Amino acid sequence: QNLQHQIAAGPGRSQLMLRSLLGCAYTNDLVWEKFKHLLALARELISQVMRRGQELGEIRVDIPPLELARLYQQMVFGTNAIWSLHPPANLDEWIDRTFDIFWRGIATEARPVPRAARPVSSPGKEQL
C-alpha cells in the first residue's frame, strides 16, 4: 500500500474521527506542537525520498526536495480534511486521484499511477 494510504489508514476509517482529531490538534496547544513536530520530521523523511527521485531523474529538479515534501503533505492532508467534511465517499479513490495529479506535476515524465484511472465515487454533486 502507498504511503498516502498508510497515512490515512487510521483516521480514514471514520470521517467523524478525522474531524475530531483535527479539531483537537487545532484547539489544544500541546497537541498542536506535537503535531507540528511530527509533520516536520515526516517532511524531512519525505524530502529524502524526493531528493532520491531527483537523483534518479524521475522527479523534476526545479523544485527543492523539501518543498516537494511540503506539497506532498498538503496533498495528503488536504485530501483527508476535505474528505472528512464531505458526504460519505471512498477515501482510497480520492487519494489515488489526488496523488495521480500530484505525481503528474512533479514527474519528469507524466505517467498515470495505477488505480487512479477509476472514477472517484461520490453520492451526488460535490458539496465542497
Q: Which has the higher per-residue pLDDT, 114 or 28?
A: 28
State which amino acid sits at residue 88: P
In DSSP terms, 107 is beta-bridged to 59
Q: Give the pLDDT confidence score for residue 11 in this predicted structure.
A: 61
* Span 104-115, pLDDT tens digits: 999 998 665 555
Whole-number pLDDT of residue 126: 47
Answer whether 65's CB lies under 8 Å from 54's CB: yes
What mean pLDDT, rounded, does the chain reach?
83
- Predicted pLDDT at 24: 86
Q: What pLDDT does residue 70 have?
A: 97
Give the residue, 60 or 120, on which the prediction is more confident: 60
Give pTM, 2 decimals. Answer: 0.73
